[in-house]
Amino acid sequence: MARAQKIGLVELVVGIIALVGSYAIYNIFFHPLRQYPGPWYTKSSRLWFIVKVFRGTVVYDIKQLHDKYGDIVRVAPNELSYTNPDAWQEVYGRNNRDVGKLAIFKKDPTFYSGVFAEANFYADIEGEPYKKQKKALLGGMTRKANLLQEDVLLEISGRLIGSLQSSTVSEPTFDIHPYLQNAAMDIMMRLIIGLDLQAIHSGDVPHPTTVTTDRAFRLSILYLQFRRLSSLITDPLENLVGKLTLRFGMLDYMDFVTPLVQDRLKSSNPRPDFVSYMLPYLTTEEITKNAIMLTLAGSESTVSVLSSTLYFMLTKPKTFLLAQQEVRNLFHKASDITIEGSEQLVYLQACITEAIRLFPPFWGAAPREVPAGGAVICGKYVPAKSTVSVYHWAMYQTERNFHDASEFKPERWLGDKNEIESKAYNPFSFGPRICIGKEISLLVTRLTLAHLIWAYDFELSTESIGTGWEKPPAYMAPTRHPLFIKLRARN
């Protein structure tokens, strides 16, 4: 009996090895993407990709593959990554396919599912539902809408300045990141659901909502890798793993924000917010889900741009001084710094643009699926059902696209711009599905930074030098190390 069980176990192991080996051989030698360059371990299975995602290094490893193999790399059996700037148009814009028709590639069904499988909100949906929700959200993204919120932005900037002033009294050197994170959450809550969260009053302690946003992004992207495994593995575990991811990732944040949105829907806000723009077009469920994701994504991207711009400027004190002089020469008092006034800060905007290139809010890729009939991308045919992507960090760190790609050089965005660099740079994506929150994110960053560097003299503390701040573990968005600074109020 024992001998028979042993033989059965050996046969099972041999069978699994033969199955895995056959799968790898097919992917390397017979798969429709077999002609595309890449190492054998990315061609044979997705295991390498999944391991790198869990380690938080996948964007760096993909960039290294591009350095070795060129503009197009097969990073998984059914996925191609591009660093050719033309890929923005041909993957995310309207692709003039072989069949002679313009096509917009659909979102990759695996990536835009999983945790959000039935989310039914703007970022995930396609077709007419997408157009309806986009129309509803665009009302809150216009310049007119932004100007109506100017007093809110100035009020929260003032609170941030005051909170930092309190910190400099007790701690000459401190981590500014929690302050920026709390301020960003305050801004998004006010703009989207009209709530004065007052997270900034938490001082150097991150508000509970900001803690859950970090965890939500990380766990969501890890869960999506689980979904890319074979259905033989994922189907039995789907319900359990999905629930665990929701519980330890998104659910805490949803539990906090959902009642706030519902309270807002029951009240009449005297001033416009995003909910007021959505009300005529969307259902209560659609408004709630969009409000949750807007506060989550909006606060995360805003604090990323704020902290990275401040960090990179402080690594080059002369650059920081130039930006500070521009602000202080243009504005004689803090109350002069308005939305329209901040638009004249050309050098500060160049610093923001360059910081986003080195530390984009979204480091990974928004994968697309090639439609029926296939398509030509960067001069080569790609068969239908293939996943195609542009990884932001790889695109912006490639020397073929940016001279001195790893260097912080705001000057590259001043005067006559390099055509290739301008074409390669699309941190808010490209085409019909470009991030509609782009302008408000940049506006908030520019206005907040202008107030900060007008009011204070900054110095980067040695505690934040050589800590790996520029290359942190990166999942859907990068994790951020503490940003220790020395702060002195302006004389």
- Tell whether residue 435 is among the known ligand binding residues: yes
Q: Report the 10 Å Cβ neighbour count for 491.
A: 4
In sequence order, what are the residues at sequence separation of 6 or more whose Cβ sits closer than 8 angstroms to the Cβ of residue 272?
A: 140, 145, 148, 149
Distance between CA atoms of residues 157 and 142, nearest Å: 21
> What CA–CA distance (Å, rounded) separates 383 from 371?
8
Two structure tokens written together for 470: 């520029």
Residue 62: closest CA among 354, 379, 396: 396
Q: Closest by alpha carbon to 479, among 467, 491, 488? A: 467
Distance separating alpha carbons of residues 212 and 209, to the nearest angstrom:
5
What are the structure tokens assigned to 410, written together?
């705001």
Tokens of 88: 């923005």
Query: Terminal CA-to-CA distance of the chain, rounded, Å?
Result: 88
Asked whether the CA dihedral 425, 428, 434, 438 is positive or negative, the reply is negative
CA distance 453 to 472: 26
One-letter amino acid of 68 = K
Two tokens at 227? Answer: 């979904």
Q: Residue ranges for the binding site for heme?
A: 435
Q: Residue ranges for the binding site?
A: 435
